[in-house]
Chain A
Amino acid sequence: MAHNWGMVIDLDRCTGCQACVVACRAENNISTVGEQQSAKGRAKHWIRVERYYEGEFPDVKVKFIPVLCQQCDAAPCEPVCPTYASYHTAEGLNGQVYNRCVGTRYCANACPYNVRFFNFYNPVWEKPLHLQLNPDVSVREVGVMEKCTFCAQRIKAAEIQAKAEKRELKDGDFTTACAQACPTRAIVFGDLNQPESKVSRLARSNRGVRLLGELGTLPKVTYLERDSWHDENA
């Protein structure tokens, strides 16, 4: 049976600690761009914790929402790419072929979530940081787009492992770097095609909402929340 990878993020559990952000950087060889370029809005965070403030000081409530590529089933980024660098994989992920990208940046403009990041310059790793690069993930050169892959390298490794052991992939065999790092277990990753997987059960929760679901992008990330984010009356 084909897999349909999905994710659930429980906003009621999220403390905004940013462990997922750090874990993602380490896992996926995301280059840092330095202070100056960051100030220009060129930092790359495949997952980011968005903060929103409610109310007036001193009665302020802070809300966190970790935003990453939603791996939409009807992804606006895919049809606009002239070279198929952005495409839909057989397992329903939004693939990004770095070597095929010519850098039109159209996909990033079309993406309603702004989760696509562009390499404005060639990446640099100051010594000895180059020693911690993940050998399973390619580094991206100047002029190409990159984004969250749902840790495609981990998916691949787990599938190969399962095949070698002549068995089906089990729920919980592996998870993404962000989910693994989350101290409150707010992020859950798994196969939505297995009805009894943890992610499937949580995705069916009545607390679930889809980010900008009204755009019809069919995101594969479900957010759980007690208080509604998007609708005052919900």
Chain B
Amino acid sequence: MTKTPEQINEDLLRPVFQTSGRFLVAAFLLGAFVVAAFATFGYQVYNGIGTAGIRRPVYWGFYITNFVFWIGLSHAGTLISAILRLANATWRRPVTRCAEVITVFALSIGAMFPVIHLGRPWVAFWLIPYPGERGIWPNFRSPLVWDFFAINTYLIGSVAFLTLPILPDWALIRDKANGWRKKVYTVLALGWRGTPRQWHRLETAMHIMAIVIIPVAVSVHSIVSWDFAMAPVPMWHSTIFGPYFVAGAIFSGIAALIIAMALLRKFLHLEEYLLPIHFENLGKLLLTMSLLWFYFVFAERLTVWYGNETSEMAVFWLTQRGSYAPLFWAMLFCNFLIPVPILALKKLRTITGTAIASAFVVVGMWLERYLIIVPSLSRKYLPYSWGTYRPTWAEITITIGTFAGMALLYLLFSKAVPIISIWELKVGLHKKAIGRSPLSAVRGQLQPTTDNAQPTP
């Protein structure tokens, strides 16, 4: 990458300052799906949750599947960004922001589902511990209350983690823009001037956030898994669920990131910023996670089969060769059999290759969540009340709507913010050129500083 800072500004700020007709069409189309989903939710609230396909005994269906899936997807940002930042992996620079955005949006979407699925969504606020005249607090023994706190903590943390390093870029837009844009970005930039003190504080804050956000992310998906593992339901009540869910979350998160990057590269013409090496490295990570995921599935299935417990075996065979078997084997196909060869062979580990593998993984991981939730509920202990589940149009519409919503949010975000961190890219450039003290590059001062108090990003 031999770009000058001016070229970087021009390339990466183009989407912020110019709006193409293609953008408007895409935003309109995606928006239509989102509106349809919200209208469906309104219909469901008005008529009753019976609009969805859930029934006794499968009281959780598509909505909770989507909840787990989206919360899982949100793990892209944390792992890639925080760990790579802490490990000081230099290739991360163009990737971090794409990843962090996925976290914030996927988490926001995922967090809507526990409300969407409620029988009485209008009283969802009863999960908040607030001093009310009834004097009743939420039940802190309930994993759903743990969820409430974990997800909110993660959401606040990841919004901070995303916006902190945007400040210098917003300040850059402020300095380059006129008119209404100038006003908006002046507010957004929070008075960023780029003084050494500000840089120092930003670096410290980012370092603290990167450390803090990792245990938070791990706890979030462990707690999501405990929504299931804490209930005495066959094949839910498992000690492996915490790490299994976290691994699956990171797995699907990386896949989502690769897809997002491939699309951004194509539509925003970032061919010279998102390089094959990024896809290659992320592809290797995805390969690792695919193998780890397979290990977890194998360990889970083997111990259940070997244990040969009647109630668990009913669920086991239902997924292994019963009515859910096609979905189970499709999941294995999507999460392991297809991605592993693509990602393991250097020749296939291209941008297209990793994107294809990632698309399979996203589908496979959605199936995985579904297969964890539904078959267990449909084969609880007493055979007399075994049952099945079929989604209705409402659940399908809302599910499609959330995928459109994710794409729309991403689209809008890439209009408001340079999707690749401009200042971090420049820091990287300058670091390469002079080897040390890269902050001067950002501030436009070329003489190397001798002050040791200056942090090294």
Residue positions of A touching B, CB distance < 8 A: 37, 40-42, 48, 50-52, 67, 76, 79-84, 100-106, 108-110, 112-114, 117-122, 141-145, 212, 215, 217
**Complexed CA–CA distance, A13 and B383 (Å):** 22
Contact with A along B373-401 (1 / 0, CB 8 A): 00001001111110100000000000000
Q: Which residue of A is nearest B141, CB measured?
A: A79
Q: Are B231 and A76 in contact (CB under 8 A)?
A: yes
Contact A80 B231 (CB under 8 A): yes
Q: Which residues of B contact A76 (CB under 8 A)?
A: 231-232
Which 3 pairs show the lowest CB-CB distances between chains A and B? Answer: A103-B119, A143-B119, A120-B50
Q: Is the CB of A82 within 8 A of B55?
A: no
Encode contact with A along B131-164: 1 for CB under 8 Å, 0 otherwise.
0000010110111110010000000000000000
A102-B119, A103-B119, A119-B119 known; 6 new pairs, CB 8 Å cut-off, are A41-B55, A83-B138, A102-B120, A118-B59, A122-B48, A143-B119
Please state if B118 and A84 are interface contacts (CB–CB under 8 Å).
no
Q: How large is the interface on B (under 10, 10 to 19, 20 to 34, 35 or more residues)?
A: 35 or more
Contact bitstring B185-224, A, C-beta under 8 A = 1, else 0: 0000000000000000000000000000000000000000
CA distance A151 to B84 in the complex (A): 60
27 contacts between A and B (CB under 8 A): A41-B387, A50-B385, A52-B384, A79-B139, A79-B141, A82-B126, A82-B138, A83-B126, A83-B138, A102-B118, A102-B119, A104-B117, A104-B144, A109-B231, A109-B377, A110-B232, A112-B382, A113-B382, A114-B382, A119-B48, A120-B49, A142-B48, A142-B50, A143-B48, A215-B232, A215-B381, A217-B232
CB of B119 within 8 A of CB of A82, answer no
Q: What residues on A are CB-neighbors of B57 within 8 Å?
A: 41, 108-109, 114
B43–chain A nearest beta-carbon distance, Å: 13
Contact between chains at A100 and B120 (CB < 8 Å) = no
Q: Is the CB of A81 within 8 A of B50?
A: no
Residue in A67, A101, A113 whose beta carbon sits within 8 Å of that of B119 in the complex: A101
Determine if B120 and A101 form an interchain contact, defined as CB atoms under 8 angstroms apart.
yes
Closest Cβ of chain A: how far from B384's Cβ, in Å?
4
Known: A82-B148, A120-B49. A104 touches B56 (CB 8 A): no
Q: Is the CB of A121 within 8 A of B47?
A: yes
Residues of A within 8 A of B383 (CB): 52
Q: Which residues of B contact A67 (CB under 8 A)?
A: 382, 384
In the complex, what distance in Å separates the CA atom of A223 from the CA atom of B54?
Answer: 31
Could you tell me if A109 and B142 are in contact, using CB atoms closer than 8 angstroms?
Answer: no
B50, B143, B377: the one contacting A80 at CB < 8 Å is: B143
Asked whether A102 lies within 8 Å of B123 as measured between CB atoms, the reply is yes
Binding site for A on B (CB under 8 A): 47-50, 54-57, 59-60, 114, 117-120, 123-124, 126-127, 136, 138-139, 141-145, 148, 227, 230-233, 377, 380-385, 387
B56 and A108 form a contact (CB under 8 A): yes
Shortest distance in angstroms between B112's beta carbon and chain A's nearest beta carbon?
15
B382 A79 Cβ-Cβ under 8 A:
no
- Contact call B50/A83, Cβ cutoff below 8 A: no
Number of A-B residue pairs, CB cutoff 8 Å, is: 137
Distance A109 CA – B60 CA, assembled complex (angstroms): 8
Contact pick for A144, options B47, B119, B227, CB 8 Å: B119
- A142 near B119 with CB under 8 A, answer yes
Contact B56 A118 (CB under 8 A): yes
Q: Give chain A nearest CB distance to B373 CB in angstroms.
A: 9
Residue of B at shortest CB range from A211? Answer: B382
Known: A102-B127, A106-B144, A215-B232. A84 touches B139 (CB 8 A): yes
A83 to B50, CA, bound (A): 22
The answer to whether B49 and A142 have CB atoms under 8 Å apart is yes
* Chain A neighbourhood of B124, CB < 8 A: 102
List chain A residues, Cβ under 8 A from B114: 104
B146 to chain A, nearest CB (A): 9
Shortest Cβ distance from B62 into chain A, in angstroms? 14
- Contact across chains for B142 and A81 when beta carbons are under 8 A apart: yes
Residues of B within 8 A of A84 (CB): 136, 138-139
A111: nearest residue on chain B (CB-CB)? B380
Measured CB to CB, the nearest residue on chain B to A79 is B141
Please, how many angstroms separate the alpha-carbon atoms of A48 and B49 in the complex?
24
Which residue in chain A gives the minimum CB-CB distance to B139?
A: A84
CB contact between A79 and one of B49, B59, B120, B142 (< 8 Å): that residue: B142
CA–CA, A117 and B387, complex, Å: 14
Asked whether A42 and B55 contact (CB < 8 A) given A82-B139, A84-B136, A109-B231, the answer is yes
| Interfacial chain B residues near A101, Cβ < 8 Å | 119-120
CA distance A80 to B230 in the complex (A): 8
- With beta carbons under 8 angstroms apart, the residue of A40, A109, A141 that contacts B55 is A40
Q: For B377, what are the chain A residues with a Cβ–Cβ distance below 8 Å?
A: 109
Whether A37 and B56, one on each chain, are in contact in the complex, defined by CB atoms closer than 8 angstroms, is no
Assess whether B50 is in contact with A113, with CB atoms less than 8 Å apart. Answer: no
Q: How far is the CB of A225 from chain B (nearest CB, A)?
A: 16
Q: How far is the CA of A81 from the CA of B144 in the complex (A)?
A: 8
* A82 partner residues in chain B, CB cutoff 8 A: 126-127, 138-139, 142, 144-145, 148
Residues from chain A with a CB closer than 8 A to the CB of B119 are: 101-105, 118-119, 142-145
Chain A positions within 8 Å of B136 at CB level: 83-84, 100
Known: A82-B148, A105-B119, A119-B119. A100 touches B380 (CB 8 A): no
Complex Cα–Cα for A119 and B139 (A):
22
- Complex-state Cα separation, A159 to B104, whole angstroms: 55
Bound: A51/B384 CA distance, A: 7
Docked CA distance A42–B54 (Å): 9
